[in-house]
Amino acid sequence: MKLFIASYLTETNTWSPIPTGRNAFVVDKPFYHTDGSRAPASGANGPLIVWRRNAERDGHEIVESICASTEPSAAIVRRVYEEFRDMLLDDLRAALPVDGVMLFLHGAMVAEGYDDCEGDVLSRVRAIVGPKVVVGVELDLHCHLTPEICDNAIPVIFKEYPHIDGA
Ligand SMILES: [Zn+2]
């Protein structure tokens, strides 16, 4: 099987006065494109490392997109959110056909113009892969579980706080 994986997350604090800009993802935290699962474990890439290891052990092909994350701050600047989202979606289109999609998202990510980033990402992923491909999403237990998430993917949520069970 060919499996598409990516990680794109932050836990937005809409009360914060500080917008989340591009540097929050690419300077404050390590940003990876196609090779996050081969980097030292840092939290955001924990599931990617496990997914690649298990898939390759079982003879499956992995196509990996972005690994982007940052700490809580106010809503993501719209063009920044869309840039990383579209990078992920472009990679998915280029990888077609795929048998499965596995994404590590947060579940409480907000951008300017997008109150439910995860629902937005997963709706677009579903539109690209069609109704039959399995789409799984790993979410933080602090997520907002919206209909747009549940209608387009199978959510798996951390159980532990502190988050010791993400990977
Ligand atoms: Zn959390």
165 lies in some domain: no
Question: Could you identify the residue written with the tokens 């924990």?
Answer: 46
pLDDT for the residue 43: 85
Ligand 1 centre distance from Cα of residue 163 (Å) = 7
- pTM reported for the whole predicted model: 0.97
Q: Which is it for strands 61-69 and 2-9: parallel, antiparallel or unpaired?
A: parallel
- Give the chain's domain count: 1
Ligand 1 centre distance from Cα of residue 141 (Å) = 6
26 lies in some domain: yes
The DSSP secondary-structure symbol of 38 reads: G
Helix axes 117-129, 78-95, angle to 10 degrees: 20
167 lies in some domain: no
24 lies in some domain: yes
164 lies in some domain: no
145 lies in some domain: yes
Residue 133: give its domain's CATH number.
Answer: 3.40.50
163 lies in some domain: no
Mean pLDDT of 74-91: 98
Ligand 1 centre distance from Cα of residue 55 (Å) = 26
* pLDDT at residue 42 is higher than 90: no
Mean pLDDT of 38-48: 94
166 lies in some domain: no
What percentage of the chain reaches a pLDDT higher than 70?
100
Q: Domain residues for 71?
A: 2-157
Ligand 1 centre distance from Cα of residue 58 (Å) = 31
